[in-house]
Amino acid sequence: MTRPVLLSALLLAGIAATATGGGSAAWAQSNGGARALAPGVKVEVAPAPGSGSAPAAGKVDETALRYYARIGDGERMEAEIARLRALDPGWEPPKDLFAPQPTATGVDETPFWTLMSAGKVAEARAAIAEQRRKSPSWQPSDKLLQELELAESAGRIRSASDTKRWQEVVDAAAAQPEAVACNRLDNAWRLAEAYAELKQTDRAFDTYKTIVTTCPKAKERRDTIFKASRHLSPERLRELSALGATANPATGEDYSAVRSAEAELETGRLLERLGNAKPGALSAADLSRVQGIVRDKQDADGAIALGWYFQKQKNFAEAQSWFTQANEWAPSDKAAEGLVLAYNGLGNKAQARAAAAPWKGKSSRIDQALKAVDPPRGPSGPGGGRTAPQGPSELDRALARHDFAECLSIIRGTIARSGPTAALLQQRGWCLLELKRPSEAEAAFAEAQTLAAREPAKGGASAPGKAGSRGPAASGLPQTATPAQENAYGQAIARLATGDVTGLTRDLPRANLTATQRAEIRASLMATEAGRALEDKRYNDVLRLLDARKELEPEPRNLGIVRGWALYNLMRFDEAYVQFKSIDDRLSTEESREGVSTAWKTIYHDW
């Protein structure tokens, strides 16, 4: 690079000489050894080659090594020593590695390395360009340029993959294969994902395979299996796990966790199937495996899934034991709901009411479940003369089984026989919501409301079991919803489900809801808004919304993850890490692991 600069210096003199007659003298003035292009700014003209002190050809470039030594990054220093030795086996690390050293070229590269290490790649580029403008004879070391290009390629792969420009991910990786090596595992995963999205499954598999057979750390191999599970079939995943557990083992690494990753994924799949399973859909072996794992991990969500599995089989005793277990590991209205319905199935109404007690009036889920225990008067029997419930009706039993399709068909039959009531239509709304048919649910609640307005006697009546919990509004006790409020609440939930956030936010202040219901809807709205804010990259808004929401309800896991990413994107990496870690410690899933690992890598520049 010194040669062209020298030429240009000679040429400058030529221009200055010829330009005097042409009128451009004012532009490119000759001004002694320097030239003034803009007022007050002089640009250095290149020295003759040899007069500088660029490193001799063939000599090992120690710039990066000295930089690592200076900042005390032992790990990267060792790696760099190994790399340089590989380049030149005769080379020995300099003895004065830690001594301050004037740089060979007269330009100290430290500021550029510092910017780059801080992730300020664009700032490093800017500083280098400025330096090159001032000293045209200088050029940055090859190592610095390589590192910059690598960091930029990595950034490009990230942004292309964030915006789902998959082919660009592949192109960028092809142009800079080092950007997808083991030490930049996240990018290697993004490349594999890009192949998968481009339907090049074989290449996706090959990329994952390269990672699990060449990257030495067991944890990385294991994480790769989890990543791959989104894109590969169970068969190929098994192949990947087997390879990852055996290929190119590094000393001191325990790969048993790699093999078990596949089993954990299998458990996840089983639990998922459990959720939608028809009775008997799981083999005895699968079932006992899931039970064992759920017990090992004290996984409350898994226990609830198992509870419902048995509840649907009318195995109420087994269901009750799993819901109890879940409630012990992590008390929640979801676990209590199952417990209420399991006790009810066993005919043990006192226990059912006791299980509901902590949540009564606070959780619509529990209030719903209690209707199965103490059915409200009216909807299920035409007489209305009963003083106490006569055992669960057909509808109550369907609800207790979570058989919502059956719920609809029973209500359809009842309406066909004896006409609609507000309570029936409201129940229909709840069942439609459970079946994820929110628009129909909203209509059902609206219909119920219309009908309730024409049923003044029934509208004012309260269920016998709830009479005792009613207090004056001023007493501060949980307020039981009137049927009209239940309808309004159902409509609000349905509108949430259809995504009508704007309309709901507008109408919420005027809606006839209990304080608890209103708080619940507000919390849900804020959760939805927080999700949107995250998508729009309004990270401070995310935190503001989640904080406000937390005042109303404890933060569930999924919003905890959202909070983590908001913190991360605000570059509050330490807080993000703590957030992800606390979630991951409770139950490790793919998303919590991803948060922990991304935050960790960012903090420690471990890409």
Partner 1 sequence: MTSPVGTSRRGMLIGTAALGLAAAVPGALRAAPYDGAAWRRYAERFLLPEGRIVDTGNKGISHSEGQGYGMLLAVAGGDRAAFDRLWGWTQRVLMVRGDGLVAWRWTPDGGVADRNNASDGDMLIAWALLRAAETWQAEAYRTAAAAIVKALAAGVLVEQAGLTVLLPGRDGFRKGETLVLNPSYWIFPAIRAFAALAGGERWGKLSDSGLVLLSKARFGGFQLPPDWMTLDAAGTVGIADGFKKQYGYDAVRVPLYLAMDGYRDPYYFRPFATLATKFGGSAVPATVSLPGGTTTQVAASVGMLAVYRLACKLAGAGDAVTVPPLAPDEDYYSTTLAHLSALAAQSLGIDP
Out of 126, 263, 317, 473, the only residue in the binding site for partner 1 (CB under 8 A) is 126
Q: Measured from the CB atom, is 32 or 456 closer to partner 1?
A: 32
Cα–Cα distance list, 319 to 111, 273, 331, 337, 374 (Å): 65, 17, 16, 12, 20
How many residues contact partner 1, by CB under 8 A?
Answer: 46
Residue 428, C-beta contacts closer than 8 angstroms, at least 6 positions apart: 407, 408, 411, 444, 448
Residues 39-58 that bind partner 1 (CB under 8 A): 39-41, 43
Contacts 24+ apart (CB under 8 A), 503-510: none
- Among positions 2, 32, 33, 37, the unique one binding partner 1 when judged by CB under 8 A: 37
Q: Is 535 in the site for partner 1 (CB under 8 A)?
A: no
Q: Residue 126 or 281: which CB sits closer to partner 1?
A: 126
Burial class for 177, CB neighbours closer than 10 Å (0-12, 13-18, 19+): exposed
- What is the distance, to the nearest Å, from the Cα of residue 432 to the centroid of all Cα atoms in its chain? 29
Span of 25-33, 250-258, 289-297, 457-465 interacting with partner 1 by CB under 8 A: 25-33
* Nearest to 50, CA basis, from 179, 150, 141, 137: 137
Report the residue number, 44 or 253, with the smaller CB distance to partner 1.
Answer: 44
- Rounded to a whole number of angstroms, the minimum distance from the CB of residue 180 to partner 1 is 18
Report the DSSP beta bridge partners of residue 42: 36
Residues in 457-486 at the binding interface with partner 1, rule: CB under 8 A:
none
Tell me the C-alpha distance between 290 and 228, whole Å. 22
Q: Site for partner 1 (CB under 8 A): which residue of 76, 125, 581, 601? A: 125
Of 36-44, 354-362, 399-407, 476-484, which part binds partner 1 (CB under 8 A)?
Answer: 36-44
DSSP 3-state assignment of 572?
coil
Considering only 60, 85, 103, 168, the residue that binds partner 1 (CB under 8 A) is 168
- Is the Cβ of residue 131 or residue 267 nearer to partner 1 in the bound state? 131
CB of 24 to partner 1, least distance (A): 6
Q: How far apart are CA 531 and CA 533, in angstroms?
A: 5
- By beta-carbon proximity to partner 1, the closer residue of 23 and 58 is 23
Binding of partner 1 by 400 (CB under 8 A): no
CB of 13 to partner 1, least distance (A): 9
User: Could you identify the residue written with the tokens 């109408």?
Assistant: 507
Q: Is 150 in the site for partner 1 (CB under 8 A)?
A: no
Tell me which residues in 563-602 interact with partner 1 (CB under 8 A): 569-570
Angle between helices 333-345 and 349-356 (to 10 degrees): 170
Strands (E), 21-177: 35-36, 42-43
**Options 5-13, 90-98, 283-291, 524-532: segment touching partner 1 (CB under 8 A):** 5-13
Identity of residue 409: S
Q: Which is nearer to partner 1, 41 or 182 (CB)?
A: 41
Tokens of 297: 């991990």
Q: C-alpha angle 395/400/406, rounded to 5°? A: 45
Determine the distance from the C-alpha atom of residue 375 to the mean position of all C-alpha atoms in its chain, rounded to a whole number.
41
Q: Does 219 bind partner 1 (CB under 8 A)?
A: no
Beta carbon nearer to partner 1, 45 or 408: 45
Residue closest to 112 by CA, chosen among 75, 71, 83? 71
**Closer CB to partner 1, residue 1 or residue 477?**
1
Nearer to partner 1, 6 or 346 (CB): 6
Within its chain, how far is the Cα of 419 from the centroid?
48
CB of 39 to partner 1, least distance (A): 5
Long-range contacts for 28-31 (Cβ within 8 Å, ≥24 apart)?
none
Q: What are the residues binding partner 1 (CB under 8 A)?
A: 4, 7-12, 14-15, 18-19, 21-28, 35, 37-41, 43, 121-123, 125-126, 128-130, 132-133, 136, 156, 163, 165, 168, 171, 537, 539, 569-570
